Copies of this chain bind each other. A is one copy, B any other.
């Protein structure tokens, strides 16, 4: 529970940065890419990309693997489910509240 909470925290924080979101988007379209391949069109240093990759990997949004001297990066699509689960939870709570309000109104009708 608490672990899940902190993971929600980290995922939202991770995707709150445009560059990191761009990395995820890019990895979704083009397949596995190296760090330098990611850096090139983004206008940042490879060092910056490495740092972002660490963040994305920590919250399991991206999986990387070092083969030889190049780090191969790919999305971990299941990582996004944390996001959908959070959104769905909000929706459920919201609807539940509406239902409860409806029940109260019905009651006062009787």
Q: Name A residues whose Cβ lies closer than 8 Å to a Cβ of B.
A: 8-9, 12-13, 15-16, 18, 21, 24-25, 28-31, 75, 77, 80, 83-84, 87, 90-91, 93-94, 97, 101
**Pairs of residues from A and B, 10 with the lowest C-beta to C-beta distance, nearest first:** A16-B16, A28-B93, A12-B16, A28-B90, A28-B94, A80-B87, A13-B16, A29-B93, A12-B15, A77-B94
- Majority SS of interface residues in chain A? helix
Task: Please tell me if the beta carbons of B97 and A29 are within 8 angstroms of each other in the complex.
Answer: yes
Kindly identify which residue among B12, B29, B97 contacts A28, using a CB–CB cutoff of 8 Å: B97
How many identical chains are in the complex?
2
Closest to A27 in B: B94
Known: A80-B87, A84-B84. A16 touches B15 (CB 8 A): yes
Q: A12-B15, A80-B87 are in contact. List 5 more A-B contacts (CB 8 A).
A: A12-B21, A24-B90, A30-B97, A77-B91, A84-B87
Residues of B within 8 A of A25 (CB): 90, 93
